[in-house]
Amino acid sequence: MNARIDHLVIAADSLEQGTAWCEALFGVQPSGGGKHALMGTHNHVMDISTERFPQCYLEIIAVDPGAPEPGRPRWFGLDQPALREAVRERPRLVHAVARTAALETLRQGLATCGLDPGVPVAVQRDSPYGTLKWLITVREDGRTECGGALPTLIEWTGPHPCDHLPQTALALQELVLRGVPEEALAVLKMPGVKAGTAKAASSTPLSATLDSPRGTVVIDSWRAGK
């Protein structure tokens, strides 16, 4: 029943901007990705797996300028005007996604904690290795809970992106989630994740520490009003 951190979400103004940011900050570039027709977004991804966080990747995601409007709020709060303005300056860590083989059970468990994790949505994207398919919880307003600290739930219904992503010199060593209710963390039971205080969450809902060719890098998440 445990959930595991599946990937970190970096919102960018464009994939070109996100790739340049990644190279400058970490000394590595993403090597895969594709388009999400349902949400009008596209991404670049790279493997950041470690023993503590197996099958984990970093996602740089942006609104796809060549895609039609999705007719619904995009995921991860990407339509928020304040975030759209913030990413014009630089890409921002906004969220983490946790995978599970029991999405509906955990979703209901979070709801009993007074949280709105969203409803399961079936999504897919093409990749060089075939079509990737998954279920993911998305709120009707497209926003995330706890300032982005409560992970979105994902359940892969086939291959995982890390099955075919090349290893990189970028590795996730620590993830701190702040302001998530203790009872919600007890529902998710995510190994390797550290909890932070609600007071600290007011400025930085989540922080990730990664080893990279440029040394140890800590990235703090964006929050409206920062």
Say if residue 220's pLDDT is above 90.
Answer: yes
Using DSSP bridges, classify how beta strands 171-178 and 206-212 pair: parallel, antiparallel or unpaired: antiparallel
Evaluate whether residue 117 is within a structural domain. yes
Evaluate whether residue 38 is within a structural domain. yes
* Tokens 């702040």, residue located: 178
Give the residue numbers spanning the domain of 129: 4-220
Per-residue 3-state assignment (H helix, E strand, C coil) for 145-214: CHHHCCCEEEEECCCCHHHCCCCCCCEEEEEEEECCCHHHHHHHCCCCEEEECHHHHCCCCEEEEEEECC
- Residues of the chain with pLDDT > 90, as a percent, come to 87
Evaluate whether residue 35 is within a structural domain. yes
Say if residue 85's pLDDT is above 70.
Answer: yes
CA 193-154-105 angle, 5° bins = 85
Query: Dihedral angle at the C-alpha atoms of 57, 63, 68, 70, nearest 10 degrees?
Result: 70
- For the entire predicted model, the pTM comes to 0.95
Say if residue 198's pLDDT is above 70.
Answer: no
* The pLDDT value given to residue 26: 98
* The pLDDT value given to residue 186: 96
Among 161, 174, 211, CA closest to 27: 211
Least confident of 60-64, 82-86, 91-95, 124-128: 124-128
| CA atoms of 118 and 197, how far apart (whole Å) | 24
Evaluate whether residue 30 is within a structural domain. yes
Q: What is the mean pLDDT of residues 36-51?
A: 96
| Count of structural domains, the chain | 1
CA dist 130 to 42, 56, 153, 163, Å?
16, 19, 23, 12
Average predicted confidence (pLDDT) for the chain: 93
Residues in the chain: 226
- Confidence band for 224, pLDDT divided at 50, 70 and 90: low
Say if residue 200's pLDDT is above 60.
Answer: no
* The pLDDT value given to residue 223: 76
Q: Is residue 203 within 8 Å of 226, Cβ to Cβ?
A: yes
Evaluate whether residue 111 is within a structural domain. yes
Say if residue 226's pLDDT is above 50.
Answer: no
Query: For residue 2, how many C-alpha atoms fall within 13 Å in the half-sphere facing its CB?
Result: 9
Would you tell me how many other CB atoms lie within 10 Å of the CB of residue 71? 7
CATH number at residue 65: 3.10.180.10
Among 22, 44, 181, CA closest to 115: 181
Evaluate whether residue 226 is within a structural domain. no
Instruction: Express each pLDDT in 137-167 by its tens digit.
Output: 999 999 999 999 999 999 999 899 999 999 9
